């Protein structure tokens, strides 16, 4: 279905897995030196492209000022460590020198790997200035970080720790090779101190640590430098179907329920029940419904308190609005489904946005259904109060949970969420038997079998009240369509999160990050898809 290069772009690996994959490549006959030359050539080409972008080097996640373009030639500072990451950096230094840039090298560790030492020797033969003090690079226009690559396990200590602190204080544009120096390859944890990069050029395969929330302030804008690893080598190490994958545009689009058959009708395109809203949180019901409508679901029913019904009809005239009795506080007190209808008539149920804890009895009733169920917001809080694991272990149908960090801790108090989001999501899914969509800057989706999908791109513009309601509606509609078409529900969960994030990115680009309220976000759901299909 996908070609070799697309599959490569989806895979994420640990340091140990990357070592094993590289070992296969070297065992097949490619010399280490040849691969280093190839990789460094690709890095050099990308560096020159970045240098040509001027102030585009700086994006919202970067602390650096615009790149000055006036000096000629540009002064490039190279940070070279003792390993092959340093070797890559030294080859880049050589190539940039040959292209007319003024190059300076900071090489603080005298004991180098043999190949790296040879490249340093040649760099010195070209009269490229090499220093043991970072201060000699302070007036450089641009810095390339090749101190430590993947696999660093110990905290960085003095004097290099001090040098990195100084570098970060300069606020100059920095490109890190593979991973920013000081970043743990697997977890994204900072080992004492870390380089704050403007760009990270990840080599060969994505490293898991780059997909963790805690790495975001260090990696800047990350991209993959594909040096033609064969997917067969990846499968030999990770198995035929690697369990941790990034959701790419191609993989997300392939999962959407498109194209539709020429001969179809609304009963074939998913039947969704939303249970949402209260007198206090009427907006949550509106946002959830609008997003569900954008999903393309064939039939949409929305259960709300009686006092919200007329408002809902005015916003969603095509939906079936179910008027439910309500508590004194304005929450749904019980479902009031139409005659000859029960919960099992729907393809999927989504419950939680804006319902408040006073709708406890309704959540309990829905949990007894035999249909795929999405729980969000107060639906999750009610579940936590009931006991997450014993409650879900009684369910026969699939459950999808969409917690943010606070809700996750209430649902799974024994799982540490502070260090590794991917492992936390995996463990929660394993324990609960549910699909867990762990929200964040890097959203992770895990299923009970240990498969994980990572949403690699998002925007802080989504840090607004109501964004989660939009995700619930969109996701509910796509799940209903997946069920009606016998598609993978778990993959559809990941696709919905990708779609939601893409809409936020597009809205932020057109309106600025401050202008992406949840209602605006719903209006960008369709443009987010059409923009990638052009």
* Residue 150 is labelled as binding a ligand: yes
* Residue 86 is labelled as binding a ligand: yes
* Residue 151 is labelled as binding a ligand: yes
* Residue 213 is labelled as binding a ligand: no
Whether residue 504 contacts residue 516, with contact meaning beta carbons closer than 8 Å, is answered with yes
* Residue 181 is labelled as binding a ligand: yes
Alpha helices in 270-321 (DSSP H): 282-294, 309-315
User: How many other CB atoms are there within 10 angstroms of residue 311's CB atom?
Assistant: 16
Whether residue 58 contacts residue 64, with contact meaning beta carbons closer than 8 Å, is answered with yes
Whether residue 442 contacts residue 450, with contact meaning beta carbons closer than 8 Å, is answered with no
* Residue 441 is labelled as binding a ligand: yes
* Residue 154 is labelled as binding a ligand: yes
* Residue 129 is labelled as binding a ligand: no
CA distance 350 to 468: 12
CA distance readout (Å), 65 to 171, 315, 467, 481: 7, 45, 31, 47
* Residue 222 is labelled as binding a ligand: no
CA distance 523 to 530: 12
Whether residue 276 contacts residue 59, with contact meaning beta carbons closer than 8 Å, is answered with no
* Residue 87 is labelled as binding a ligand: yes
CA distance 208 to 204: 13
Q: Give the bridge partners for 273, in sequence order.
A: 301, 349
Instruction: Report angle CA 79, 177, 58 to the nearest 5 degrees.
Output: 90
Q: Closest Cα to residue 210, out of 187, 238, 243, 242?
A: 187
Exposure on the CB side of residue 409, measured as CA atoms within 13 A: 5
Whether residue 146 contacts residue 89, with contact meaning beta carbons closer than 8 Å, is answered with yes
* Residue 119 is labelled as binding a ligand: no
- 281 Cβ partners below 8 Å, 6+ apart? 353, 354, 355, 356
387 DSSP assignment:
-
* Residue 315 is labelled as binding a ligand: no
Q: Closest Cα to residue 332, out of 274, 272, 278?
A: 278
* Residue 477 is labelled as binding a ligand: no
CA distance 529 to 471: 15
Whether residue 184 contacts residue 422, with contact meaning beta carbons closer than 8 Å, is answered with no
User: How many other CB atoms are there within 10 angstroms of residue 526's CB atom?
Assistant: 12
* Residue 254 is labelled as binding a ligand: no
* Residue 111 is labelled as binding a ligand: no
End-to-end CA distance of the chain: give it in Å, rounded: 21
- 196 Cβ partners below 8 Å, 6+ apart? 63, 168, 174, 180, 217, 218, 220
User: How many other CB atoms are there within 10 angstroms of residue 135's CB atom?
Assistant: 10
* Residue 504 is labelled as binding a ligand: no
* Residue 52 is labelled as binding a ligand: no
* Residue 367 is labelled as binding a ligand: no
CA distance 226 to 506: 26
* Residue 450 is labelled as binding a ligand: no
Annotated binding site for AMP, which residues?
Answer: 439-443, 468
Annotated binding site for (6S)-NADPHX, which residues?
Answer: 84-88, 149-155, 178, 284, 354, 404, 469
Annotated binding site for K(+), which residues?
Answer: 85, 145, 181
Annotated binding site, which residues?
Answer: 84-88, 145, 149-155, 178, 181, 284, 354, 404, 439-443, 468-469
């Amino acid at each position: 279905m996908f070609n070799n290069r697309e599959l490569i772009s989806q895979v994420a690996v640990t340091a140990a897995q990357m070592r094993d994959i590289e070992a296969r490549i070297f065992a097949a006959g490619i010399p280490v030196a040849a691969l280093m030359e190839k990789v460094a050539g690709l890095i050099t080409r990308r560096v020159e492209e970045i240098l040509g972008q001027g102030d585009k080097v700086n994006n919202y996640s970067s602390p650096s000022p615009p790149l000055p373009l006036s000096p000629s030639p540009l002064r490039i500072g190279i940070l070279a460590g003792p390993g092959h990451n340093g070797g890559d950096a030294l080859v880049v230094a050589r190539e940039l020198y040959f292209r007319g840039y003024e190059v300076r090298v900071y090489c603080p560790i005298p004991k180098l790997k043999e190949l790296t030492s040879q490249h340093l020797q040649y760099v010195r033969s070209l009269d490229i200035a090499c220093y043991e003090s970072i201060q000699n690079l302070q007036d450089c226009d641009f810095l390339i970080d090749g101190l430590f690559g993947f696999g660093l396990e110990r905290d960085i200590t003095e004097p290099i720790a001090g040098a990195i602190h100084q570098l970060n204080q300069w606020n100059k544009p920095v490109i890190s090779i593979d991973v920013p120096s000081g970043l743990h390859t697997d977890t994204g944890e900072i080992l004492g101190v870390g380089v704050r990069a403007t760009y990270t050029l990840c080599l060969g395969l994505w490293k898991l640590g780059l997909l963790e929330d805690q790495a975001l302030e260090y990696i800047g804008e990350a991209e993959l430098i594909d040096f033609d690893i064969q997917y067969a080598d990846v499968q030999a190490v990770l198995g035929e179907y690697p369990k941790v994958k990034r959701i790419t545009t191609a993989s997300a689009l392939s999962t959407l329920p498109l194209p539709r058959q020429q001969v179809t009708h609304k009963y074939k395109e998913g039947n969704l029940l939303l249970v949402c809203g209260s007198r206090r949180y009427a907006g949550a019901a509106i946002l959830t419904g609008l997003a569900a409508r954008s999903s393309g679901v064939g039939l949409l029913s929305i259960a709300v308190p009686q006092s919200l019904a007329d408002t809902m009809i005015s916003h969603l005239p095509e939906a079936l609005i179910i008027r439910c009795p309500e508590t004194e506080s304005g929450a749904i007190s019980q479902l009031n489904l139409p005659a000859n209808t029960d919960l099992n008539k729907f393809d999927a149920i989504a419950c939680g946005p804006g319902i408040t804890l006073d709708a406890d009895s309704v959540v309990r009733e829905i949990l007894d259904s035999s249909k795929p169920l999405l729980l969000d917001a107060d639906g999750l809080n009610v579940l936590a109060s009931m006991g997450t694991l014993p409650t879900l272990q009684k369910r026969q149908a699939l459950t999808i949970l969409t917690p943010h960090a606070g809700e996750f801790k209430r649902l799974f108090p024994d799982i540490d969420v502070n260090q590794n989001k991917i492992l936390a999501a995996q463990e929660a899914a394993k324990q609960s038997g549910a699909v867990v969509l762990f929200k964040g800057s890097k959203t992770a989706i895990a299923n009970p079998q240990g498969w994980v999908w990572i949403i690699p791109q998002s925007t802080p513009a989504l840090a607004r009240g109501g964004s989660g309601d939009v995700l619930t509606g969109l996701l509910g509609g796509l799940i209903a369509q997946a069920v009606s078409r016998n598609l993978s529900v778990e993959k559809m969960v990941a696709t919905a999160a990708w779609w939601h994030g893409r809409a936020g990115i597009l809205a932020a680009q057109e309106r600025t990050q401050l202008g992406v309220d949840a209602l605006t976000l719903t209006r960008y759901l369709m443009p987010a898809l059409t923009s990638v299909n052009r």
